[in-house]
Amino acid sequence: MPPVPQELIDAIVDEIDDRKALSPTCLAARTFVSPCQKRLFRGIHFVGYISSSSEYTRRAAELFASSPHLRSHVRTLAMYELPTAADFPILAQVLNMFRDLRIVQLNLTQVSWGMLSQDLSDALMGLMGCPSLQCLAMRYCTVPAALISFVHTSVVDLVLHEARVESLSPHSSLLIKQPSNCGKSTLKRLQLGQNVGSETLGSVSRNITPHLSKLQRLGFDIRSDADVSVLASVLDATEDLERLTLCHEPNVDSAPLDIRKLPSLRVLELRMLLGGSPKMTLAQVLSIVPRADQIPHVEKIHILLDSAAVVSVPLSADDPPGLFMGISSTKAFTCLTELEFELWFPLDEGYIADDGRSALTTYILKFWESVKSARAGMRLSVLDLVGDDD
Question: Cis (ω within 30 of 0) for the bond into 83?
Answer: no
Q: Following CA atoms 248, 253, 257, 258 in sequence, which dihedral angle do they give, to the nearest 10 degrees? A: -160
Within 10 angstroms of residue 217's Cβ, the number of other Cβ atoms is 15
245's enclosing H/E stretch is: strand 243-248
Q: Give the model's pLDDT for residue 171.
A: 47
pTM of the model: 0.77
- Cis ω before 278 (30° cut-off from 0): yes
Mean pLDDT by 10 residues, the chain (390 residues): 54 56 55 70 76 74 86 89 81 89 86 82 84 88 79 85 71 58 77 72 79 88 78 85 83 64 86 60 66 75 69 51 58 72 56 44 65 61 54
Mapped onto helix, strand or coil, the DSSP state of residue 180 is coil
